[in-house]
Structure 1
Amino acid sequence: MNAKSDDLCIDWLPTFGVQLRKAGVQFDAVRMDEEPGRALADRLARMTGGDPGPVIDVAGSRPCVYFLVAAGSTAFHLWPAEVRRLTSGPDRESFIPVPALHDMTWPLSWRYPPTAPDRFVHTMLLRAALETWAQAAPS
């Protein structure tokens, strides 16, 4: 790893390229389509002073945004139809593509990179921002 990612000591970050990480081990994810997801990530950044937690941006033919949240934190909540929870359990396995911090990883990039090993997007803050977004979205 490079010096910056070594300083962070984040073992789930790949050294280079992109690796799949099983949801439910270090984190879960909430996936949302590109433009609404980017707008939501930027809203969370404004709400958190620029550090919303790790958010992955995917370009290409199926653009989307992954919000990395604490493992198990998406369970037992209703989520809007526009998002997909990525978790693992007895009848389900999900994998999340994770890019290296400082490598050519197109079509994946960090919209907001991780800043600490145990710092993820706050699930309840994400849910509140989603509810506000859903109420403001045109029907």
Structure 2
Amino acid sequence: MTNELTPNWVPKSGLQLRLAGVHFDAVRVCGIRGEAVLHHLDALTDGRPGPVVRERSGCRWTYFLLAPGESAEHDWPPGARRFARCGPDEYIGVPAPEGNTYPLGWAAGPPGDGEFVDAELLHGVLRAQLCPAPE
């Protein structure tokens, strides 16, 4: 539900594209791997992983939204792609808090103002899930 605590970059209805690196950075993970990362983040944060956008069709991407500039602080493992203000313009689809937002939706509800996924925690979960242990 939209209220005074919802960030101004979240649309009131439908979907809107937002330039990565302005209001947030994003880390994208594909399919079941993204769902597994989300599951672990959800457990580690008592159900408050921060803003996570999920695609419900196609590749079923999961986008973890970080505070602007925070994605540059980590070397993301293969299978995780960073979107930030460091090259050509890249856009992320952002759904409204409610209504018809297909094919995108919020995994844990829309974010509160200033709420983001913890970049260090996400990085640790991604490395544990996507990087095989050396033998």
TM-score (norm 2): 0.91
Find the residue that maps to 1:46 and give its secondary structure.
helix
Greater CA deviation, 14-23 or 73-82? Answer: 73-82
| CA deviation string 1:37-82 (max 9, x = no partner) | 0111111011001000011110222211000001110114211110
Find the residue that maps to 1:25 and give its secondary structure.
coil
Superposed CA RMSD in Å reads 1.6
Residue in 1 that maps onto 2:31: 34
Alignment pair present for 1:116 and 2:109: no
Residue in 2 that maps onto 1:82: 79
Write the distance in 1 (CA, Å) between the matches of 2:13 and 2:69: 27
TM-score (norm 1): 0.89
Supply the AA of the counterpart residue of 2:60.
Answer: P
Residue in 1 that maps onto 2:100: 104
Identical-pair percentage: 38
Q: Any gaps of 5 or more consecutive residues in structure 2?
A: none
Structure 1 residue runs of 4+, over 6 Å off? none
Conservation of the 8 A alpha-carbon contact between 2:74 and 2:123: no
Write the distance in 2 (CA, Å) between the matches of 1:32 and 1:9: 25
Conservation of the 8 A alpha-carbon contact between 2:24 and 2:65: yes
